C-alpha cells in the first residue's frame, strides 16, 4: 500500500514539474509598466567642469580716459572676446612693486586700459592655470583679486599689474606681448556701450552706472535632489547606511564614518567625512583641483558656477557661486541657495554643502522686463545705506525667491563690505 502511495505521489510531482516547465517556456509574462512620473532617477547627472569653467572674472572694466568707464559682465560678447585674448598673452618677469608709488585713480581716469576682477582673490598658482604668468610667483603667497592692463606715458608700451586681495601688495609684469595699439583696439570694443551708459568711479573703490540697467526678471521651474541620489553619489556602499530623523525634520544618513544631513525645510544638504590630522601644508592649486574633481565625481554641476572664495590656510574653504546668464545668484541670509561649498583638511575633502534645488535650465524661462535703478537713484541709496563707509564693492545680481514649484530671480544691487559680508541694497 505504501509503495503504491509513493508511486502515485511521484507521478503527481513529475507531472507538476512538467507543467511548470511548459508554462515557463511558452507562457508570456505579464509585465507591469512603470509609470514615467513615478520613476526616480538614482544617479546625479550634473555636468563636469574644468578650471577654465570655474575661474572667470566677475566683471571687466574698460577705461577710455577722460573719466569714462564701462563695465562688462560674463557672457557678454565683448567680455568673452577680451578674456580669450588675455588667456593667450604671456605675462613675463612678474615682480613685486611698491603699491603706493602711483596714483592709480588718476591712471584709471586718464589712461586707456582694462581691469578684470576676482571677488575674493586667487593665488598665482591657480591663475597660472588660465594665464601664461612667468616669474618667481611660487614664492608669492598673496591672493590676486585684480589684473590691470594699462598704457604708459611711453608711446606703444603696455604695463600689466596684479593686485593682492584686500592687501598692500602689488606686482608688475615687466614684459607682456601686447602693444598699446592692440590694447586700444580691445578697449574700444565697448566704446558704443560707454556712449549709452557711462560708469562713474565712486570713492576710488567701486563703479555705478549713470543710467539704469536692463536686466530681466527670470522665473524657472526646478526639481530637487532625492536622498537616494545623494546616498548613491556620496557613500561607497549605500546599502550599509542607516538614517535618523530629528525632531525638526532634519534627516541624517551615516555609514559609520561619513555623514549626510538633509535639511528639508531649507532644501539643503551637508556631507561630512572626518579626516585624520596630518602634518604639513598643501599646495593651493592641488586643493583647488581636488575640490573641483570632488564635485565632478559626486553629482557634477547644475549650471554655471565661478569660484568666489578660496581660503588657503590649514583648513581650505572653496566656495562656488551660481550664475544665471551674466549675474550671480544670492538668496536671503536665512535661505541657503546659490552656492556650493567645499572644506578641505590637508588637501582632503572633509565637508561638502549644496542646495537640493536644481534649476531646470532646459526649458524657456518666463521673462519680465525690468530696469535696475542706476544714476542718482542708486547713489542716494548708497549714501543712505547704514554701513556706507564700509562698502568696498557694488554689483548687480539676482536675488532668488524660492516658490513651491519655481525660483524667481529678481535683479538687485548687492554691496560687499570690507569684511567680506554681502548685503542687498533695497
Per-residue pLDDT of the chain in tens (426 residues, 90 and over written 9): 545 545 554 554 555 555 555 454 455 444 434 333 333 444 777 899 999 999 999 999 999 999 999 999 999 999 999 999 999 999 999 999 988 888 888 999 999 999 999 988 898 889 998 999 988 776 677 889 999 999 887 777 899 999 987 667 899 998 999 999 999 999 999 999 999 999 999 988 899 999 999 999 999 999 999 989 999 989 888 788 788 877 777 899 988 888 999 998 999 999 999 876 666 667 788 889 999 999 999 989 999 999 988 876 677 899 999 999 999 999 987 789 999 999 998 888 999 999 999 999 999 999 999 999 999 999 999 999 999 999 999 999 999 999 999 999 999 999 999 888 999 998
Among residues 61, 64, 66, the alpha carbon closest in space to that of 82 is found at 61
171 and 264: one domain?
no
From the CB of residue 62, how many other CB atoms can be counted at a distance below 10 Å? 25
194 and 60: one domain?
yes
403 within some domain: no
237 and 158: one domain?
no
Query: Between β-strands 391-402 and 68-72, what pairing exists: parallel, antiparallel or unpaired?
Result: unpaired
412 within some domain: no
Q: How far apart are CA 144 and CA 163, in angstroms?
A: 5
34 within some domain: no
146 within some domain: yes
* CATH code of the domain covering residue 280: 3.30.310.160
**Cα 270–chain centre separation:** 17
- CB-count burial class (<10 Å; 0-12, 13-18, 19+) for 22: exposed
371 within some domain: no
310 and 195: one domain?
no
256 and 125: one domain?
no
DSSP H or E run through 126? helix 124-127
111 and 249: one domain?
no
127 and 193: one domain?
yes
- The SS3 call for residue 369 is coil
Q: pTM for the full model?
A: 0.86
Which of the listed residues 201, 218, 241 is the one where a domain comes to its end? 201
197 and 238: one domain?
no
DSSP H or E run through 290? helix 284-297
77 and 174: one domain?
yes
The torsion angles phi and psi of 137, rounded to 5 degrees, stand at: -70, -20
177 and 285: one domain?
no
151 and 246: one domain?
no
Q: Which domain range does residue 140 map to? A: 51-201
pLDDT at 36: 37
Torsion 195-103-172-181 (CA) sign: positive
Which residues, including other chains, have CB under 8 Å from residue 88's CB and lie 6 or more apart? 132
What's the number of domains the chain is made of? 2
pLDDT at 237: 84
The torsion angles phi and psi of 303, rounded to 5 degrees, stand at: 125, -165
DSSP string, 7-75: HHHHHHHHHHHHHHHHHHHHPPP---PPPGGG----S--PBP--HHHH---SEEEEEEETTEEEEE-TT
Which of the listed residues 201, 222, 253 is the one where a domain comes to its end? 201
Amino acid at each position: 500500500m505504501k509503495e503504491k502511495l509513493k508511486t502515485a505521489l511521484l507521478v503527481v510531482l513529475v507531472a507538476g514539474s512538467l507543467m511548470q516547465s511548459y508554462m515557463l517556456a511558452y507562457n508570456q509574462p505579464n509585465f507591469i509598466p512603470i509609470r514615467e512620473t513615478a520613476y526616480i532617477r538614482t544617479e546625479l547627472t550634473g555636468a563636469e567642469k574644468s578650471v577654465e569653467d570655474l575661474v572667470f572674472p566677475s566683471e571687466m572694466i574698460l577705461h577710455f580716459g577722460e573719466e569714462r568707464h564701462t563695465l562688462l559682465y560674463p557672457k557678454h560678447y565683448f567680455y568673452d572676446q577680451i578674456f580669450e585674448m588675455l588667456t593667450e598673452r604671456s605675462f613675463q618677469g612678474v615682480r613685486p612693486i611698491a603699491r603706493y608709488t602711483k596714483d592709480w585713480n588718476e591712471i584709471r581716469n586718464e589712461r586707456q586700459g582694462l581691469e578684470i576682477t576676482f571677488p575674493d582673490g586667487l593665488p598665482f598658482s591657480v591663475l597660472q592655470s588660465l594665464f601664461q604668468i612667468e616669474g618667481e610667483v611660487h614664492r608669492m603667497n598673496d591672493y590676486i583679486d585684480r589684473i590691470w592692463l594699462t598704457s604708459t606715458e611711453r608711446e606703444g608700451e603696455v604695463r600689466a599689474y596684479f593686485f593682492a586681495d584686500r592687501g598692500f601688495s602689488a606686482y608688475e609684469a615687466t614684459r607682456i606681448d601686447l602693444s598699446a595699439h592692440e590694447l586700444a583696439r580691445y578697449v574700444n570694443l565697448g566704446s558704443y556701450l560707454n556712449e549709452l551708459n557711462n560708469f562713474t568711479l565712486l570713492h576710488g573703490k567701486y563703479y555705478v552706472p549713470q543710467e539704469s540697467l536692463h536686466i530681466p526678471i527670470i522665473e524657472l521651474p526646478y526639481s530637487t535632489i532625492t536622498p537616494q541620489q545623494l546616498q548613491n553619489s556620496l557613500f561607497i556602499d549605500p546599502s550599509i547606511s542607516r538614517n535618523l530623523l530629528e525632531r525638526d525634520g532634519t534627516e541624517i544618513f551615516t555609514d559609520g564614518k561619513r555623514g549626510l544631513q538633509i535639511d528639508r525645510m531649507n532644501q539643503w544638504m551637508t556631507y561630512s567625512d572626518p579626516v585624520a590630522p596630518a602634518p604639513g601644508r598643501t599646495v593651493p592649486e592641488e586643493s583647488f583641483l581636488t575640490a573641483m574633481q570632488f564635485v565632478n565625481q559626486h553629482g557634477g554641476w547644475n549650471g554655471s558656477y565661478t569660484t568666489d572664495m578660496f581660503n588657503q590656510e590649514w583648513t581650505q574653504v572653496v566656495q562656488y557661486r551660481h550664475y544665471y546668464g551674466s549675474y550671480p545668484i544670492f538668496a536671503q541670509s536665512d535661505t541657503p541657495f546659490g552656492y556650493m561649498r567645499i572644506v578641505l583638511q590637508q588637501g582632503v575633502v572633509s565637508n561638502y554643502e549644496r542646495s537640493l534645488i536644481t534649476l531646470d535650465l532646459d526649458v524657456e524661462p518666463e521673462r519680465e522686463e525690468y530696469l535696475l535703478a542706476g544714476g542718482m537713484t542708486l547713489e542716494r541709496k548708497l549714501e543712505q545705506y547704514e554701513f556706507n563707509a564700509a562698502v568696498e564693492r557694488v554689483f548687480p545680481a539676482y536675488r532668488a525667491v524660492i516658490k513651491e514649484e519655481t525660483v524667481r530671480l529678481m535683479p538687485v544691487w548687492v554691496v560687499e563690505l570690507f569684511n567680506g559680508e554681502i548685503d542687498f541694497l533695497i
